[in-house]
Chains A and B, each alone.
Chain A
Amino acid sequence: MTHSRRALAVGVVLVLPVVVGFAYALLGATDVIGGLGQPPGLARIQRVLSEAAVWRGTAWAMWVAVASTTLAALLAVVLSLVYDGTSRTDRLARALMNVPLAFPHLVAAAVGLLVLGQSGMLARILMFAGVIADSAHMPELVSDRFGVGVIVALTWKEAPFLLLINAAVLSGHGRGYQEVARTHGASRWQVLQRVTWPLLWRGMSPALVAVAVFAFGSYETMVLLAPSNPLALPLLTAERYVDPALARRNDAFVLAVLSMVIGLIAVAVYERLRSRIEDVGHV
């Protein structure tokens, strides 16, 4: 097998679960399978997509995805710029920052609950310090409308992932480019603006799309920390899949298709942006 054929085979194997999953969800959404007497067609898709709860849940999950990805990216950039040295403390700091990577998202969500909950550790500390009188006065950070708990948990989980990528980018050619720029008389700000930032941005941007799409569908984080209104799209999907009324269960496939389409759009937008940037020859 030639190299290109092998590459193709690997690609096919990687994309196959997505294709099969998408096709299966589509068959379910159109009642071709599991319709239980419902004639195949677009009726289910029309009904589900006309529900306000679906779009509110989608918007909410998008908000959480964008907010947590932005925060994680900011955190990762700042930390990788501040602790980019080769000293022992810097290296130790970078190693410690990777610790959250070892925890599954469900554990991160459970920790979020223990710390941020109305009767959680933070509330107890604030009560002890006399900042709040009792747990009822603790601001809602879990099951809250704005998803603070979900955003914090996802940021805590995803920032180290981005940090790892940044560290790889900077420790590769990055340091060399920075040195060259400095020897040519660039100021610290110019190095950051013209060398470091473009390098980081380019290295990090595919990961940002991955993180955002993952956060958008992060059922395990939302199931513990998200509110029931609006019910986030992943939770709504799971809820429909086990609806007591059998006839509504295929609704979950419509919602699964919706999530996949949104994920694909995110990837397509990214690819377009990237090719435009590459065409311009920036960096």
Chain B
Amino acid sequence: MGFLATRRRPAATSRVRTRTGMLRAQTFVCAMVVAAISMGACTRDTRATSTSSELRVMTWSAIESSARGQTVTMRMWRGDQSINQFMDTWVAPHLASEFGITLRTVEGQGPEIVNALLLERNARANGTADLVWINGETFSNLRREKLLFGPWADRVPSAALLDSASPIIMRDFEQELGGLELPWGTVQAALIYDTLRTPNPPRSFDELARWIHAHPGRFTHDQAFTGVTFLKELMYALNGGVSKFQGGFNEPIYTQASAKVWQWLDNTRNDFWREGRTYPAGVAELHRLFANGEVDFTMSNNQNEVITKVRQGILPPSSRALVLRDGTIANAHYLGIPASAPHAAAAMVVANFLLSPEAQYEKQRPEVWADGTVLRTSSLSPDWQRKFGALALEANAILSDTLSKYARPEIAPQYHERLNADWRARIRDTPNR
């Protein structure tokens, strides 16, 4: 976080006496000079990069050959070892050998991507990312601020393999993709429990509330994305399902529906972990509390995360995922190309490869990432169909027909934003009692 770098230890600066006006003037002049030099150094260079209209008329083989020898910088969440390993040790070597492209993955998830691109635009600096991993409100923010390149996604040959009938894949938090992002993977939220500690877990929000009362201090959710997804599912459940919220953000509906969420939380949170006075920062902290036996549930946006985390020894082997019968949120995540990307053509080639059956299969393997495919597997070759079919039979995977039965789509990103902000103000910052 760049601005945090401005925090400083004042002892060093306190010795700098700025008492005379002359010194103040000199400081100001120096600051201006340095600012001017640094501005000049990073002013956008006019090196020709392909524009979206140029790329639209180029043939795919021309795009591939223009991409050869280029380096694609991908800005993505780097918080999961298995994902990093997939990108660095499987994807990158394939891209290098098959397409002559060097892949560089760098840290930066949703909000940081938006901030970085806004900052680059404000500073008129060269783009530093060619490919970004996004969805939901990040996509909405990037699109509204016109920070995305494209449309390009329909130019990618692998896009023909997409499961284009799936609203969960082809709509991102109810937003049209508009060719500005390409689906990459799909996940469904799930609770995670330990079959030894909780042999009969709750199967609905009603049962969950009863379970929480019966087991005080053993349940909580995190403060970040997964926690808000949990609240959104609760909002669906308490208001007769998702349909009420579809078709864009509606303030009166939100106010009425969220009131039930706050009421549910007010009725249960005294029996949350630490009596609901504090919440884990993110899902990694929640996993830790679960693994240490401080709470009996953790959760994930990816129903298969339990499989990879058990393999990594982070969660106990008897951990399983659970989808509540009220429905859990399924969504997809996407690849976008920033408007300032220096290597848009190469980024398209990378995206095309990431969507190939080969890469999608590798990504979905439980020992790799266990991220669901966005391809319509039924129209792939019999060989690939067999391979993808075998993945669904993994011991602690939830069967795909169960998953799709309880899958609920995302709604407009404003619901997420408001639930997030209101939960902080009404629940987190306002203790019960």
The residue from A21, A223, A244 contacting B137, defined by CB atoms under 8 A apart: A244
Cβ-based interface call for A106 (8 A) = no
Q: How far is the CB of A246 from chain B (nearest CB, A)?
A: 5
A22 to B420, Cβ gap below 8 A?
Answer: no
A19 to B27, Cβ gap below 8 A?
Answer: yes
Cβ-based interface call for A214 (8 A) = yes
A21 to B431, Cβ gap below 8 A?
Answer: no
Given A18-B13, A206-B11, A210-B10 in contact, is the A242-B5 Cβ separation under 8 Å? no
| A52, A245, A253, A260, most chain B CB atoms within 10 A | A245
B10 to A228, Cβ gap below 8 A?
Answer: no
The residue from B12, B111, B420 contacting A14, defined by CB atoms under 8 A apart: B12
Cβ-based interface call for A263 (8 A) = yes
Identity of the chain A residue whose Cβ is nearest the Cβ of B430 in the assembled complex = A229
The contact string, 1 if C-beta is below 8 Å from chain B, for chain A 185-213, is: 00000000000000000000011011001
Identity of the chain B residue whose Cβ is nearest the Cβ of A33 in the assembled complex = B122
CB contacts (< 8 Å) of A267 on chain B: these are: 10-11, 13-14
Q: How far is the CB of B17 from chain A (nearest CB, A)?
A: 8
Identity of the chain B residue whose Cβ is nearest the Cβ of A138 in the assembled complex = B294
Q: How far is the CB of B346 from chain A (nearest CB, A)?
A: 28
B278 to A14, Cβ gap below 8 A?
Answer: no
Expressed in whole angstroms, the Cα–Cα distance for A231 and B217 within the complex equals 21
B3 to A227, Cβ gap below 8 A?
Answer: no
Identity of the chain A residue whose Cβ is nearest the Cβ of B6 in the assembled complex = A21
Cβ-based interface call for A174 (8 A) = no
**Chain B stretch 285-309: residues in CB contact (< 8 A) with chain A:** 292-294
Which of B112-120, B320-328, B329-337, B388-396 makes up part of the contact surface?
Answer: B112-120
CB contacts (< 8 Å) of B294 on chain A: these are: 117-119, 135
Q: How far is the CB of B426 from chain A (nearest CB, A)?
A: 12
A228 to B12, Cβ gap below 8 A?
Answer: no
A213 to B429, Cβ gap below 8 A?
Answer: no
Identity of the chain A residue whose Cβ is nearest the Cβ of B35 in the assembled complex = A20
Q: How far is the CB of B285 from chain A (nearest CB, A)?
A: 8
The residue from A52, A248, A252 contacting B3, defined by CB atoms under 8 A apart: A252
Q: How many residues of A contact B (CB 8 A)?
A: 67
A231 to B429, Cβ gap below 8 A?
Answer: yes
**Chain B stretch 400-433: residues in CB contact (< 8 A) with chain A:** 413, 416-417, 420-421, 424-425, 428-429, 431
B223 to A259, Cβ gap below 8 A?
Answer: no
Cβ-based interface call for A166 (8 A) = no
A219 to B31, Cβ gap below 8 A?
Answer: no
Cβ-based interface call for B16 (8 A) = yes
CB contacts (< 8 Å) of A246 on chain B: these are: 114, 141, 144-145
Expressed in whole angstroms, the Cα–Cα distance for A205 and B371 within the complex equals 55
Cβ-based interface call for B253 (8 A) = no
Q: How far is the CB of A53 from chain B (nearest CB, A)?
A: 5
Cβ-based interface call for A162 (8 A) = no
**Chain A stretch 205-252: residues in CB contact (< 8 A) with chain B:** 206-207, 209-210, 213-214, 217, 219, 223, 227-231, 234, 237-238, 241-246, 248-249, 252
A145 to B277, Cβ gap below 8 A?
Answer: yes
A14 to B122, Cβ gap below 8 A?
Answer: no
The residue from B10, B27, B144, B425 contacting A264, defined by CB atoms under 8 A apart: B10
Q: How far is the CB of B42 from chain A (nearest CB, A)?
A: 14
**Chain B stretch 118-141: residues in CB contact (< 8 A) with chain A:** 118-119, 122, 137, 141
B26 to A20, Cβ gap below 8 A?
Answer: no
Expressed in whole angstroms, the Cα–Cα distance for A148 and B293 within the complex equals 22
Interface of A with B (CB < 8 Å)? Answer: 8, 11-12, 14-25, 28, 33-34, 36, 52-53, 56, 117-119, 135-136, 140, 143-145, 206-207, 209-210, 213-214, 217, 219, 223, 227-231, 234, 237-238, 241-246, 248-249, 252-253, 256, 259-260, 263-264, 266-267, 270-271
5 extra A-B contacts, CB within 8 A, seeds A36-B145, A229-B278, A249-B115: A21-B6, A228-B278, A229-B277, A242-B115, A256-B3
